[in-house]
Amino acid sequence: MSLFIRRARVLTLALPGSVPGAPVRPRRGPALRELGLMPRADIWIQGDKISAVAPELPLPPDAEVIDADGRVLMPGFVDCHTHACAPSAPLDEWERALCGATPSELEKDGGGLPAIIHAARTATRKQLAAGLRLRLDALLRGGTTTVEVKSGLGLASEAERKLLGAIQRAASEWPGTVVPTATLGHAVEGEVAAFTRQIVREVLPEVWHEFPGLTIDARCAPDAWPVEACVRLLERARKHGLPVRVSADQLAPTGMVPEALTLHARSIDHLENASKADLLALAASDTFAVFTPAASFHSGLRYARAGAFADSGGLLALASDHGPAACPIHAMPFVIALAVRHCGLTVAEAIVAATVNAAAMLGLADRGTIEPGRRADLLLLRHLDERQLAHEVGDNPVVRVICGGRTVFPS
């Protein structure tokens, strides 16, 4: 199979002097603003890989030709933080919350997070996979070709393994790439110390035996896992060679950032209320900050200081935090628009954070740039200037999605 795209405005995201075939490396500092722009170029794709990129290429025989006509061509979006495997959103509760109902009031009436956890536990693997597949298709239409999907609503071994199995099942039927994460430290039932100890001692080993190599994740918050429990979970995962991530400081400072840095966490996510000192320490490390401005938009809470973090030289990525209840926003163009408006990022920084840096955070070194040898996950926008991606809001700017070298949208 051969695909030839001609006359595109190409954001290669390649750095000057990059070596063909070398693994993609994350960007920080001035490199975070390097889009590798080629104002007019052709791209030749063979199979699932990019074969050539140049201002003018000879037309290969028997290739399918796409005329970009000067529109922007860029790498596919990589959404590196979602909760897309979950029951449908409780819209009645959302409407009540808009009218002032508090989480405790919703839980008292049988709703809230306990109801969502119950729905996840009672749903079958097939039902969960079918719901996730619908969300993955929506993500794909918006240009997301690689997505991380978390478990976390099971709170017990059998339910967590069911959720991870549903993620695997949906991933096997989807043309893009799904990266599962086991968020074993997500919520608490009953007495905190006893519950978290059971997860660490019993659930974690069963999960890593059935799903070897999986990243282990925790959510540190007043209504979730305390710092000490998160540290125990992630320390044990690290001892068995598993990558670890943590969400922290979304609602209030937790003290988790220094602990996560000591644990060499792959990422610390959210950080809306992180202190300046913690952000500076994080910026000086090799741990990513994953910012989720759509979660702030949906909840009406403060936005993280991503621009200041970038100016400090930190490694950063953008993600949607998409989930049916917590953040029903999946469009990465909207995430970019929010990051530029409310988080202090430039358009170029936001694009890099939503593509090559997000891929690097997930440990995927074969995508995120348009260079020979890379996986051919590409987007063609209707825009003639990439800045419109952040400037215009409310419509899908993606007119074509190429995933693994073939057009998957429009299908």
Write out pLDDT tens, residues 252-288: 999 999 999 999 999 999 999 999 999 999 999 999 9
* For the chain, domain boundaries: 2-75+367-409, 78-89+126-361, 90-122
At 171-180, the pLDDT tens digits run 999 999 999 9
Which amino acid, one-letter code, is at 214? L
Instruction: Give domain 78-89+126-361's CATH number out of 3.20.20.140, 3.40.50.300, 3.40.1190.10, 3.40.50.720.
Output: 3.20.20.140
pLDDT in tens, 229-257: 999 999 999 999 999 999 999 999 999 99
Closest CA to 389 of 170, 168, 77: 77
Tell me what pLDDT residue 243 has.
Answer: 98
What tokens appear for 8 in the block? 């595109």
Across the range 9-25, mean pLDDT stands at: 90
Domain 2-75+367-409 has CATH 2.30.40.10: yes
Q: How far apart are CA 315 and CA 305, in angstroms?
A: 13
Report the C-alpha gap between 298 and 83 in whole angstroms: 15
Q: Which of 222, 214, 211 is nearest to 244 (CA)?
A: 214
Whether pLDDT at 23 is above 90: no
- The CA angle 134-140-142, to the nearest 5 degrees, is 110
Percent of the chain whose predicted confidence (pLDDT) is above 70: 100
Phi/psi for 85 (5° steps) reads -95, 95
Residue 61 has pLDDT above 90, yes or no: yes
Rounded to whole angstroms, the Cα distance separating 64 from 356 reads 27
Does residue 388 or residue 102 have the better pLDDT? 388
- Asked if 2-75+367-409 and 78-89+126-361 have one fold, the answer is no
